[in-house]
Structure formats: C-alpha cells, structure tokens
C-alpha cells in the first residue's frame, strides 16, 4: 500500500497567490482529515470528511480556506489569497470508521513570503 | 472540545533508560491513541487503548489509562536513539483531538 500521498511536498509562494494542496487517501478509507501544524499552535484539525462529505469544518481559519473531496480518492485544500501567517506544514490523514486510527501523509511544507 | 495535554513538554534521557510521558484530558472519551512524529515526517500511530481498558502493550511500549483520573501514560522501555521524536496523545470523543506533544530526546 502506498499510504497517504500528498503533493506538493514543498510550496513557496508569494502573499496573495492561490495555493492548492492535494491529497490521495489510502484506498478503502472513508474518512479524510486536513491538519495544520505550527510551532506556536501545534497540530490543528482544519476539516474532516466522511464518505466524501464535509462533517466538521469548524477548524478552517477563515473564508480564505476551502476544501473539497470530489471523490473517495482525492481531496484538495485551497488557500486564496495566501498570507505569510498561513506558513505551516499541512497534513492529510485518512482512516476507517472502525478502528479510527489515522494514517498521515508526509505533509506539505508551505511558505508564504 | 477537549484536548489532551502531554506532560512533560520535553524530555531528555540516556539511551537504555525508560521514558514516561503522560496525557491528561477533561471529559469522557471513547478511546485514546498515541502517535509518534519524527522530525519532518507525518504522525505514525503507535497504540490505541479503549475506555474500558486499563493497560496495553506493544513491543517496548506500555500504555495505561485511568479514566477516573482522566489520564494516560506512555512508557517506552530500554530507549534507543531511534525513539527520538515527538509523541502525541489523541483524545477520541466525537472526533479525534491531538495534544501538543512531548519532545523526547535520547542521548547516546
């Protein structure tokens, strides 16, 4: 099994630009999670999907952030427009409902200049 | 929603010694999970303990859960350099919430 796949692994962009992060969950998993990790705030849950439907997006910082899951094998997290304070490592994770052990991707390190 | 709080925030021990990390939480849980994160990597699941369990083992790992005290501990026995990482507890009630982690450093 390839595990959770994220792309790109590194992204450097300028303030105001649109950023799109991509995730391919483990085949057969029905839950998908997007996290953001920074030194100051630790690991924050942004949004999670169950069976491709967004269940809880209360962690999404503001309207500049949006996430989609058009099918069971693909999800995107978009930031538009990006700001320097969005710089962080963004992780995608997937799981089954039972057990709910999460499998994390390698992360995307985003730097907004 | 609640968050597990790990203690200590950082821990340095000599290789071969045992490392103990603690996690406290505030409300009822379905299960509690421990994850490890090596520098620059994603989190890796270590062990899950259900609310009706008191202790679980996996290799050199031992996890305990005391629901009356709302706390859990992770013990790593005979530590190795490769155990250097951050360790997170994750609380599961209606969703999984991660703590801020304990940074463990194993000294050669």
Q: pLDDT digits over A5-33, tens only?
A: 999 999 999 999 999 999 999 999 999 99
Inspect the interface and report whether the beta carbons of B42 and A4 lie closer than 8 Å. yes
Distance, in angstroms, between A113 CA and closest chain B CA? Answer: 21
Contacts of B80 (CB under 8 A, 6+ apart): B15, B106
Alpha-carbon Rg for chain A in angstroms? 13
Cβ pair A107:B41 closer than 8 A = yes
Provide, rounded to the nearest whole percent, the portion of chain A with pLDDT above 90. 84
Closest by CA to B72, choosing from B80, B85, B63, B59, is B63
Give the pLDDT confidence score for residue A107 in this predicted structure: 97
Q: Residue A98 has what pLDDT? A: 64
Q: Is the pLDDT of residue B103 over 80?
A: yes
Residue of B42, B44, B88 lying closest to A107 (CB–CB): B42
DSSP codes, B3-26? --EEE-SEEEEETTS-EEEEEE-S
> Contact at 8 Å (CB) between A100 and A90?
no
Q: Please calculate the CA angle A23-A24-A25 and round it to the nearest 5 degrees.
A: 110
The mean pLDDT value for B63-74 works out to 96
Q: Are A47 and A60 in contact (CB under 8 A)?
A: yes
Asked if the Cβ–Cβ distance from A42 to B101 is below 8 Å, we say yes
pLDDT at A99: 64
Among A43, A51, A96, smallest CA distance to B48 is for A96
Q: How many CB atoms lie within 10 A of CB A4?
A: 24
Residues above pLDDT 70, as percent of chain A: 97
> For an interface test with A, which of B30, B95, B101, B103 has the most A Cβ atoms less than 10 Å from its Cβ?
B95
φ, ψ (nearest 5 deg) of residue B92: -115, 105
Q: What is the mean pLDDT of residues A35-55?
A: 92
Looking at residue B6, its pLDDT comes to 86
pLDDT at A1: 64
**pLDDT tens, residue by residue, B4-60:** 788 899 999 999 999 999 999 998 888 999 999 999 899 999 999 999 999 999 999
């Amino acid at each position: 099994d390839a595990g959770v796949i994220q792309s790109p692994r590194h992204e450097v962009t300028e303030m105001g630009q649109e950023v799109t992060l991509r995730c391919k969950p483990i085949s057969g998993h029905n839950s998908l999670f997007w996290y953001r990790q920074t030194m100051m705030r630790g690991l924050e849950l942004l949004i999670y999907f169950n069976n491709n439907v967004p269940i809880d997006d209360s962690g999404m910082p503001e309207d500049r952030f949006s996430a989609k899951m058009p099918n069971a094998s693909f999800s995107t997290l978009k930031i538009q427009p990006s700001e320097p304070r969005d710089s962080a490592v963004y992780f995608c994770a997937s799981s089954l409902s039972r057990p709910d052990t999460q499998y994390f991707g390698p992360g995307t390190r985003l730097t907004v200049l | 929603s609640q968050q597990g709080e790990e203690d200590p925030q950082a821990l340095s021990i000599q290789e071969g010694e045992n490392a103990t990390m603690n996690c406290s939480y505030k409300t009822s849980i379905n299960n509690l999970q421990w994850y490890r994160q090596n520098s620059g990597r994603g989190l890796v699941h270590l062990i899950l303990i259900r609310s009706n369990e008191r202790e679980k083992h996996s290799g050199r790992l031992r996890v305990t859960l005391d629901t009356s005290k709302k706390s859990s501990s992770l013990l790593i026995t005979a530590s190795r350099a490769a155990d250097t990482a951050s360790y997170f507890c994750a609380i599961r009630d209606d969703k999984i919430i991660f703590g801020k982690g304990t940074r463990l450093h194993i000294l050669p």
